[in-house]
């Protein structure tokens, strides 16, 4: 019980998640009075990061920074606009299509939400969309970030569960497409009763120019998926090569990046990487302490006793993960959940890639699920709306996403 009380207390005091996790592990060790655990603590903290697969994280973070600084986001939004004809609610579809494109670059819900809220929401308001709907559509599109490759959550899950990250990237395509189509359906239904404005038709020449301008940027995520799927590169190698390509595009092709921009860009990427990797190490400490206390085995036994079949196990797991994802950030939640659930899923014959998709999508949806989803509050802060209004607008999209999640949980052959 000490870890639970310590963690909750530190969260209530506003202590950063990574620091709270590390202090929780230390509190348990001190309370146990086991000097051996205390001596092993520095080694456990460092060994948590001793993984080749984790090298992909800073490389993909650098890729996102390079693509943003090089003007890829603006070009992809312009391409999405050119793809949508003069239909009612056209800008809403543009927002979702642009989110799908950016999902293959950023791989982070909060990062994508920040970029798209600043980029698309003002344009939707100018066109006549209610701010609540504009923010809800943009936030819903950000849910696609951890599903489409490259996904930071897939990378971490692959490292923890010893599952090929390339398999996770490829398997994430179908759920991502299903979620995007379900969001399109929600927009189409809302457009029947809400007077969404129509988009102006674009001339063929304008569409051609938008396509030509965006092709180099759109080629980078395609290169990542193909390189990993064909075995030409590992996710780490693909991330490094893609980051180099993004830098070349920004400096020499688009020419929106200057040499003086490289220093601040690398600094931002390094700081973001340090935050994520320290969070990984701190969560690993908590997992190590919980394993020593035999808590995962006890929780696993309770879950195994309640579940009588693979389908029942997956449905119960969905409920548990949604609750966990609402209160915890995806990365620490992933690091705490996987060591417990992976052995149980193996007992039921559940494919680890299937399990990874379900866990990752669940924890990502938790970011936008009331009452304390981090991305929900980020969307509210960026838009000036209350979290309650944002959550109200998001409800149809969350319902559609949960429906897709249940479908892939029960019928894994769709992956």
Q: How confident is the model at residue 114 (pLDDT cuts 50, 70, 90)?
A: low
User: Is this model's pTM higher than 0.95 or not?
Assistant: no
pLDDT digit string, tens, across residues 186-226: 988 888 887 777 776 667 777 788 788 888 887 887 787 78
Residue 185 pLDDT: 92
Listed in sequence order, the DSSP H helices in 162-234 are 165-171, 173-193, 204-229
pLDDT digit string, tens, across residues 346-366: 888 889 999 989 998 888 887
**Range name among 91-95, 246-250, 273-277, 290-294 with the lowest pLDDT average:** 290-294
Listed in sequence order, the DSSP H helices in 249-386 are 259-292, 295-306, 310-327, 330-347, 352-366, 374-383
Q: Is the pLDDT of residue 36 over 60?
A: yes
**Range name among 25-34, 160-169, 390-399 with the lowest pLDDT average:** 25-34
Residue 182 pLDDT: 93
Query: Nearest-CA neighbor of 325 among 376, 277, 290?
Result: 376
Query: Nearest-CA neighbor of 146 among 182, 186, 184, 99?
Result: 99
> CA angle at residue 393 from 389 to 394, to 5 degrees?
115
Q: 319: exposed, middle or buried (C-beta count within 10 Å: 0-12, 13-18, 19+)?
A: exposed
Mean pLDDT, rounded, for 352-381: 79
Q: How confident is the model at residue 327 (pLDDT cuts 50, 70, 90)?
A: low
Q: Is the pLDDT of residue 32 over 80?
A: no
> CA angle at residue 401 from 318 to 361, to 5 degrees?
50
Number of residues that make up the chain: 415
Residue 299 pLDDT: 67
Query: Cα(395)–Cα(401) distance, rounded to whole angstroms?
Result: 10
pLDDT digit string, tens, across residues 303-325: 767 767 788 888 888 888 887 77
Q: Is the pLDDT of residue 402 over 60?
A: yes
Query: Nearest-CA neighbor of 158 among 242, 60, 66?
Result: 60
203 C-beta neighbours (distance < 10 Å), count? 9
Q: Is the pLDDT of residue 104 over 70?
A: no
pLDDT digit string, tens, across residues 249-283: 889 888 888 999 899 989 988 887 787 677 767 76
Mean pLDDT, rounded, for 101-110: 64
36 C-beta neighbours (distance < 10 Å), count? 8
Q: Average pLDDT of the chain?
A: 78
Bridge partner residues of 198 (DSSP): 88
Domain boundaries defined on the chain: 1-47+277-293, 51-257+294-414
Mean pLDDT, rounded, for 126-149: 82
Query: Nearest-CA neighbor of 249 among 207, 220, 206, 210?
Result: 220
> CA angle at residue 259 from 257 to 265, to 5 degrees?
70
């Amino acid at each position: 019980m000490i870890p639970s009380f310590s963690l909750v207390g530190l969260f209530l005091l506003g202590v950063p998640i990574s620091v709270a996790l590390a202090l929780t592990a230390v509190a348990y060790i001190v309370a146990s009075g086991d000097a051996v655990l205390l001596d092993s603590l520095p080694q456990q903290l460092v060994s948590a990061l001793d993984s080749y697969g984790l090298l992909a994280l800073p490389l993909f973070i650098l890729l996102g920074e390079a693509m943003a600084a090089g003007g890829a986001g603006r070009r992809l939004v312009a391409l999405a606009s050119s793809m949508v004809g003069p239909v009612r609610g056209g800008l809403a579809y543009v927002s979702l299509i642009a989110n799908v494109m950016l999902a293959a670059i950023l791989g982070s819900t909060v990062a994508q939400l920040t970029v798209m809220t600043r980029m698309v929401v003002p344009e939707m308001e100018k066109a006549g969309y209610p701010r609540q709907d504009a923010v809800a559509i943009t936030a819903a599109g950000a849910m696609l970030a951890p599903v489409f490759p490259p996904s930071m959550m897939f990378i971490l899950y692959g490292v923890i569960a010893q599952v090929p990250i390339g398999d996770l990237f490829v398997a994430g395509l179908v759920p991502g497409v299903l979620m995007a189509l379900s969001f399109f359906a929600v927009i189409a239904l809302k457009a029947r009763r809400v007077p969404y404005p129509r988009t102006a038709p674009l001339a063929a020449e304008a569409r051609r120019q938008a396509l030509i301008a965006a092709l180099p940027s759109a080629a980078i995520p395609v290169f990542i998926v193909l390189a990993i799927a064909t075995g030409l590169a590992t996710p780490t190698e693909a991330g490094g090569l893609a980051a180099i390509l993004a830098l070349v595009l920004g400096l020499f092709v688009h020419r929106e990046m200057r040499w003086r921009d490289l220093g601040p860009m690398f600094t931002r990427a390094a700081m973001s990487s340090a935050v994520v990797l320290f969070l990984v190490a701190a969560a690993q400490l908590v997992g190590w302490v919980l394993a020593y206390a035999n808590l995962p085995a006890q929780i696993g036994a309770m879950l195994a006793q309640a579940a009588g079949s693979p389908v029942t196990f997956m449905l119960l797991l969905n409920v548990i993960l949604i609750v966990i994802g609402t209160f915890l950030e995806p990365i620490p939640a992933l690091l705490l959940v996987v060591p417990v659930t992976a052995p149980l899923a193996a007992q039921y014959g559940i494919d680890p890639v299937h399990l990874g998709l379900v866990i990752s999508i669940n924890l990502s949806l938790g970011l936008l699920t009331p009452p304390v989803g981090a991305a929900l509050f980020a969307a509210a802060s960026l838009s000036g709306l209350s979290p309650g209004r944002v959550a109200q607008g998001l409800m149809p999209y969350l319902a559609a996403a949960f429906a897709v999640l249940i479908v892939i949980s029960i019928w894994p052959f769709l992956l």
